[in-house]
Every structure is written in C-alpha cells, then in structure tokens.
Structure 1
Amino acid sequence: MQYHRSFIMGCLVRALGILVLAGCSMLQSSSLVASGVPLQTSGGTPENREKLSLAINDFGLDLLRTLTTDSGKNAVLSPVSIHAALSMTMNGAVGETAEQMRRVLHIDGMAAAETNNTWADLLVRLEKDNAAQTLEIGNSLWARQGIAFKQTFIATDRDSFGAQLATLDFAAQDAAEAINRWVSTSTHGRIATIVDKPPSNAILYLANTVYLKADWANPFEKKATAAMPFHRKDGAAIDMQMMRQGELMPYAENATVQATTLPYKGDKSEFHVLLPKPGITVEAALADLNGAGFKVLRDALTSARMAHVNLGLPRLDSEYSARLRNSLMELGMARPFDDHSAQFTAMADFSAPIFISDVAHKTRIKITEEGTEATAATLVMGVAGAAPPGDDPVHDLICDHPYLFAIVDHASGAMLFLGVVNDPTQ
C-alpha cells in the first residue's frame, strides 16, 4: 500500500461467500451505474443528524480505544469512513447480525430507514461546496460477476450513500486493477493500491474513501518552528520539529485534558487538540471520553471566552494501517464475521452464509505550518465574538508528550478523523 502527503484515510469492507454459486442470474452491467452522489436527500432532520454524528463519534472513540492499548504507536482513524462502510454493509444484514452491527455503530435507537435517510443528508452536507477546502467522500460496491444481489440492497446503498456499482470477473487480472483505479482517483492519487487479487470466495467489496485538504485559518510561522524533545510513553525522548503559536484561542479543559481548536479556512471543519494533563496517560484520557463528553468539550470550546494560549504542535507525517476484525468483534460485532452464522440474507440468497472476512483501514496524516491534507480508504471484505481576556493567565498547551486530535465537521460535529499521537516521528 502506498501513502502520500497528508491525511489519507478510508475504509474498504469485503464480504466473502464460502461456496461457489451456481444458477444465479447475473447483474448485467459491468460499468459504474451510479454517480457517487446520494440520490435520496430528503428525510434528514437536525435531530437525526445530531444522533448520527454522536453515533459516529462514539463508535470512533470506542474503536480507537481498542487500538491504542499499550502499543506506543500512533493510531489514526476516519470514524466517518469506517461507519459509512459498515452502514452500507449492514443494509444487507438481518436478525442478530444486524442488531450487533447497530449496537456497535451506536445506531440501535434509529430505524434502518432513518439511518439511511440521515446518512444521505449528512453526506450531501459534508461535501457542500466550500472554496476554502476540499472534502470528498466516495462509496462503491464491487460485485462478483454472475451473482444475483438483491436489488433492494443495491438500490439502498446507491440512493443513501451514492455508492457506485460495478460487476467484475474476480478471476480476471484486471479486477483488482479496476478497484485500485477507483481508489486512486477518489484519493487524488494519494492511495494507489488497496486490493490484491480477490480470493476465490470473495463475492463483494464495499469501499469508502475520504479526502480532505484544508489550510489553517491562522497558519503557523515557519520561523517559529524549532527542534524540541518529545517524551514518549516508554520514557524515551526523541527530537521533533515543534510548530508554535501564541495568541488568543478557544481554550477549555476537563479533569483529564486541556483542549483548543484550530479552525481551517472557510470554517467548514476544525482541528481539536486534546492534551492529557500531567500524570494522565493518553489511554486514561481516551477512556474518560465518549461522544457526549467530546460534545461537551467542543461546546465549551465554541462558547468559551478567548484565552491566551501558548500552543506547541508537532509537525506530523504519519502512516497507519489496521485490520479491524478483532477490534470490532471485541466491541460486540462477532456474528457478522462468523462463517457459519452470519446473516446477510438481505444482500443475496445463498445456501450458506455470506460473512465479513475483514475490514481494512489505512490512513496517513501530514500536518504542517500551512494546514492538513488527508485521505482515507476503507475496505470491508463484503468560535468568535468574545471580549479580549485582559489579564487572564497564559495556558501552556505544548504537545511534547502523547496527545489526541480530532478533525471535525463544524456544522454536524461528526469526526472526519481521530487519532492518538504517541510518536510524531512515526
């Protein structure tokens, strides 16, 4: 897999069948048959957008906790990407399989139609034109030629997620090339390949990509950047380049972290820094944070009186990849991965179960004095206006030890990217 500048992320889900299918009518088209833009954009409400955004954030925080336990490594996810890919897959699930997915995705309080309608609404709003930044989200389905997938499943993912559909001869050499071309195009070439030759029992790939390029509203001055030690959790001190800003910023804190917000140009999205307080590990800070808690902290930053903040943020160019099967099972999504009892009969009718083989997630983030560029690919196998603070104290927020960050859509509050930085040189 190749990673390039900035933030490159995404989710691709592959659903696998365990038998060779025969006697099924085939989907006739071998070309893309949907535009990639949700066709159904009505039905979303502010209340449901807030529910879905909280669900995305809760899920992302849950998942990140499973991936950061004593590893000492960076972990960067796109909650929006992974949640979208699994939500598309869930449209083919029934029974306990669907219920487990809904619980883990924190959408068990929403009906399926509500979830799909709200995703359609959210995707359109996320990609709403903004000249100051680029945010692009793509979804696609890649089906094995000759297998009759249920049209309700295909139509729902098309209408709600704008999922492009193609049928491919998975035995042909160019099958993986076709998927990789789509991923490369969707990520502006930042991810060149994500799929090798499909295994013999693969019947469907569900893919999501996220690409973000945004400049800071208030760039860091390059001449202020200087070498500083970063203290890793293992006690080692490593040299890294620390970017500096000292000005009026939003500032908030809770029992475990100090936080500030860096807006991007256009105010479409924002970068939140969450620095654990002395004596608090990044794992303890993460354990104390859920979607509602993050919203409280973000609301405090939004409404806070501007404060003098002495911010130090490392330059970062970090790659990350993970297989999410074990983490998702640990969170309670076991049955979808069971090759005997998974229930994806709303996807297609087979005499043996369709199941998810794995969920692959790859990211790269690059943070510089100018801004952030990020992109993701997931594969499932299936402030302002406050008076000056006067003589208020200066808050030092120097990220010279492990910290958390979140890149958030301003309007919805949904986490586009979420990460733990244990070593900015990784």
Structure 2
Amino acid sequence: MKRTFVLIGFFMIFSLAACGGNSSSGEKGAEPDDDGSAQFNDDETADFEVVSDDDFTEPAEEDAAPQTYDEWQNAYAKADAQAEQVQAPFVEANTNFGMKLFAKLNEPGENIMISPLSISIAMAMTLGGAGNSGTYDELMDFLGYKAAGFDDYMTLNEQFDFLLQSLTYFDENFELSLANSMWLDDAFRGGVNKTFVNDLKKYYGAGYFVKDFADSKTVGLINSWVNNKTKGKITEIIDEIDENTVMLLLNAVYFRANWMQEVDSEGDIESGYFTMSSGSKKQAQFFRGMLRERHYYNGQVGKNGMDIRMLAVPFGRHAASIYFFMPRDLDGSVDAMISEMAENGIGKYFDRVNGSCDEYCEFELPRVRFEYGESIKDDFSEMGLKKPFDWNYGFDGIVSDKLFISDVRHNTYFSMDEKGVEASAVTEVYIECGADEDGFNPAFFRFDRPFVFAVRDNRTGTLLFIGKVEKPEFD
C-alpha cells in the first residue's frame, strides 16, 4: 500500500493600509474620517485607468484533473515545457531569499516551517503595486531580483507564470495546488489601478473579492477561503480587520504526495527517544521506509563546512523530492547548520545529495505534527526592507493615494506519520550498518535528533517548503 505524504504551506497576508492609521511618519496622505478610518482623497486624479466592477470577477474553475494514462502524459509534457522556460537566476533568487528568511526566523529549540514559494508569490504580487515609487527599487533589491538581472517587472511576471503553469498537474502521484486572491474594501473599489488588477489575474490567477471590511462577516469569508484552499488544515488567519486596512493579498499552497516506499503501519512502528538540542530526550514513535536508488550523502559541502548527513526521498516520477539534513556529529548544532546552508546557498546541498551513491538505504522518521504562524513584518525590517512599511513612499501602482504595508503574516501546518505527511518537516539522522538474513547490508538513517527538511521541485529547483523538526510532538 502506498503511504501519503502531505504538505501544506501557507501564505502571506499583505494588509495595505491607508495612511490615516499607524505609520512611521507624521504626515498624511489619505484623509481620515471623523471616526479615524482612512478614506481616499476625492480631489486627486489618478494617472492610470481605474478598475471597473466588471474587472472584479472570481477566477474561472480549473480544468478537471487528468484521468487516463494518455491524459497524464499530455499534462506532464505541458508542465515540463513550462518548467524549461523557468530561468535558473530567477529560481536562485527565490531560493536564496527564502533560505535567508528561514535562517532569520529560526529559533533554537523550536519547530518551524515556511514556504519560500508562497512567500515569493505573495511578494511578487505586491511588487506590481509599487509603481514608480522608491518602494519598487527597494523590493527588487531586497528579494534579489535586481542582482539576478530581472529589472523589468513584466519579465518577472512571465517567470512566475511559467513556474505556476509548470506546477499544475505535474505528477499524478501527488497534489499541488496554489491559490491567490485579492480582497478589497468596498469603499475603495473606484480608485484601484486596472493594470494592477489585471496583472494579478493574468499572471497569478488571483481571485478578486470586494467586501465591506467594516462588516464582521468579511473576516469569516476570508477565513473560509483559507480553510478551503488548505483543505481544512489552516482554519483561521485573522480575527478582525483594522479600520485602516483597505486591501489584503493572500497566497495559499497545498501539497500532498504518496511515498515512493512502502511503510508498514502495523509492523514497522516502534517507540524510541528523540534527543533535542537541549540534550533532553523526548519519547517518539518512528516509522520506516526504504530507498532503492542513490539519494544520500555524508560529508562536507564547501571548504571547512560542517559534516552533514543528507537524504532525499523522491515522489512519483521524481519531479519532486523531500530532502533531510542533519549534522553528522552527535553534538553538532542544527541551528549552526542552518546558518551555514543559508550562507553557502542551499542549492549546493541539493546537488551533492542527488549525485551521491547507488546503494540501498533504509530510513526511520518520527511521527510529528505542528503549526507555525508568525507576523514577519519586523523580520523583513531587520533584514533591510523599510520603504514598503512607510506610506511616504507608497504603492502608486495600486492607487494614487499613499498606502503602506501594515502587516505580513505567514502560517504553515505540518504532520507526518506512517500514513503520510501534512505540511513539512525535517529529521536529523545518523547512519548505522546492519545485515539481514541474506547478507543484504543497506545504509540506515535514523532521524532521532533535530533535522532540517525541504521539499523541492527537481525540474526547476524551486524550493516549495523548508522546515526544522526540533520537537517531534504528535498531539
């Protein structure tokens, strides 16, 4: 029986708040009403065509999933053709940014998971609203796109379009769905740049929802959208909408995949201890699988690098894999390893594990389940992003008035057991040797110490999820 591996990465909320609310400046752009809520200035004339009610439409239903062998082969051909159009510098920029953010958010002794893919998509949608302000240049530098040679936003949009199309029905053995949406306060529907709205629809397939943000039911509608797009794994992301918030941009990613290896849910589960970074031990339940191909490596990456145990478990037709990384030394720090990987570039580690050895390998992973959710606005600021949070610079590609990002949030969910995985996790490993009755002597990886995991599209190199398992809780 095939076992299922499920990953749910989720997303960013960008609250673009009119500047009647909190800001880093004392000036005013949008005029507040008597009650303090922000409204657009009526005496300003936009230098762009504003959106009409006809432009606010929900996206069309997706095509039905392929059913027959021939239909899937055609789907693979289309997806792979799109993947070939995705440029390596674009992927490298997204991956490096995601890895740096992961290292920044990582806290010793705590579980974590983020989706670099989700974050990149949400940030790219926001870029489209930066217009000609200083916000645009700072965002392009911050995300690494300018250094990668993508000065033109339309070229960047095309790259995201190729990437998103390449991830549609690219393996029948797992499900990967991505959803984007823009939520606009009804009071501001008449002042939004039509080009911004149409680009979100054309390149990102974003749905558009115009609602009364003062109505408490809107919170329920947004949470319902989240619940639906994450298959019920993330049920709530907001409990209220600030009176100055005029727009939300959301992205959700859901990934579910079958294990390539058989996992015996009856006979291969055993109790054991997981040694956390503090040195204390936590009881855990471990399940086992076997790899029949070359997907593990022990050693350094780069000069003076830490010795690391690496393992890759492919899914389906090998278009995607989950990777596990753990310090080889029993006293090695997983947090130091994360910092090293961020500095060196995680792509080098993927390359090393994919070109290693031909021997069989057995592995054991712990049951684990956790949620992660943070506002990452302050982390962005500490990493050097300033102007998007200051309405003096604004987003003149969205409206003519001054807007700023009031919050950025990211939520994820992960669960892994012998039946499969939901979200993402990584285990630390050590290798033992053992022989069966026939003299077969496979390598043995047991992830019973803190480890990093990453889910990656092997065709383009896109990093879908990355996380750290520090405590194998399974409540």
Pairwise TM-score range, normalised by the shorter structure = 0.7 to 0.9
- Which residue pairs with 2:433 in the alignment? none
Counting only pairs closer than 5 Å after superposition, residues 140-159 of structure 1 correspond to structure 2 as 140-147=181-188, 148-159=191-202
Q: Is the 8 A contact 1:219 1:369 kept in 2?
A: no
- Which residue pairs with 1:35 in the alignment? 60
CA distance in 2, matches of 1:90, 1:69: 29
Which residue of 288, 296, 299 maps to 1:251? 296
CA distance in 2, matches of 1:263, 1:45: 18
**CA separation of 1:171/1:246 partners in 2, compared to 1, >3 Å: closer, same or farther?**
closer
Q: Deviations over 1:111-144 (max 9, x none)?
A: 2111100001100111235322111000000111
CA distance in 1, matches of 2:139, 2:262: 41
Counting only pairs closer than 5 Å after superposition, residues 84-99 of structure 1 correspond to structure 2 as 84-93=121-130, 94-99=132-137
AA matched with 2:110: K
Q: Is the 8 A contact 2:261 2:289 kept in 1?
A: no
Q: Are 1:79 and 2:124 matched, yes or no?
A: no
Secondary structure in 2 matching 1:53: helix
Report which stretch shifted further, 240-249 or 201-210. Answer: 240-249
Q: Is the 8 A contact 1:231 1:237 kept in 2?
A: yes
Query: Over alpha carbons, which structure has the higher Rg?
Result: 2
Q: Deviations over 1:304-347 (max 9, x none)?
A: 33234342221121111111111111221122122x43431111
Secondary structure in 1 matching 2:241: coil
Q: Which has the higher contact order (CA 8 A, sep 6+)?
A: 1
Q: Deviations over 1:49-106 (max 9, x none)?
A: 3222222211111111111143x11010011111111110111114432222222322
AA matched with 2:226: V
Q: Are 1:309 and 2:371 matched, yes or no?
A: no
- Which residue pairs with 2:461 in the alignment? 413
Q: Are 1:213 and 2:251 matched, yes or no?
A: no
Secondary structure in 2 matching 1:218: strand
- Which residue pairs with 2:75 in the alignment? none
**CA separation of 1:161/1:305 partners in 2, compared to 1, >3 Å: closer, same or farther?**
same
AA matched with 1:180: N
Q: CA deviation at 1:159?
A: 1.0
**CA separation of 1:45/1:192 partners in 2, compared to 1, >3 Å: closer, same or farther?**
closer
Q: Deviations over 1:183-234 (max 9, x none)?
A: 2222222222222231110010000011111110113223222111111111
- Which residue pairs with 2:434 in the alignment? none
Which residue of 321, 333, 338 maps to 1:286? 338
Q: Are 1:182 and 2:225 matched, yes or no?
A: yes
**CA separation of 1:333/1:226 partners in 2, compared to 1, >3 Å: closer, same or farther?**
same
CA distance in 2, matches of 1:331, 1:21: 31
Q: Deviations over 1:139-189 (max 9, x none)?
A: 000111132111111111111111111211111222222222222222222
Q: Is the 8 A contact 1:215 1:265 kept in 2?
A: yes
Secondary structure in 2 matching 1:399: strand
CA distance in 1, matches of 2:442, 2:387: 51
Q: CA deviation at 1:291?
A: 8.7
Secondary structure in 2 matching 1:297: helix
CA distance in 1, matches of 2:177, 2:86: 22
- Which residue pairs with 1:7 in the alignment? 7
Normalised TM-score (structure 2): 0.78
The sequence identity of aligned pairs, in percent, is 24
- Which residue pairs with 1:21 in the alignment? 39
Q: Are 1:224 and 2:242 matched, yes or no?
A: no
CA distance in 1, matches of 2:472, 2:260: 23
Report which stretch shifted further, 51-60 or 211-220. Answer: 51-60
Root mean square deviation, CA, Å: 2.8
Secondary structure in 2 matching 1:189: coil
Q: Is the 8 A contact 2:296 2:311 kept in 1?
A: yes
CA distance in 2, matches of 1:85, 1:265: 28
AA matched with 2:312: T
Which residue of 323, 328, 349 maps to 1:297? 349
Q: Is the 8 A contact 2:58 2:207 kept in 1?
A: yes
- Which residue pairs with 1:202 in the alignment? 245
Q: Is the 8 A contact 1:45 1:118 kept in 2?
A: no
Which residue of 398, 410, 414 maps to 1:347? 398
Query: Gapped runs of 5+ residues in structure 1?
Result: 376-390
CA distance in 1, matches of 2:100, 2:10: 17
Normalised TM-score (structure 1): 0.86
Q: Are 1:131 and 2:172 matched, yes or no?
A: yes
- Which residue pairs with 1:372 in the alignment? 421
CA distance in 2, matches of 1:392, 1:55: 43
Q: Is the 8 A contact 2:186 2:210 kept in 1?
A: yes
CA distance in 2, matches of 1:341, 1:37: 40
CA distance in 2, matches of 1:219, 1:356: 47
AA matched with 2:417: T
CA distance in 1, matches of 2:416, 2:172: 20
AA matched with 2:315: Y
**CA separation of 1:294/1:307 partners in 2, compared to 1, >3 Å: closer, same or farther?**
farther
AA matched with 2:368: L
Q: Is the 8 A contact 1:134 1:211 kept in 2?
A: yes
CA distance in 2, matches of 1:238, 1:267: 34
- Which residue pairs with 2:67 in the alignment? none
Secondary structure in 1 matching 2:10: strand
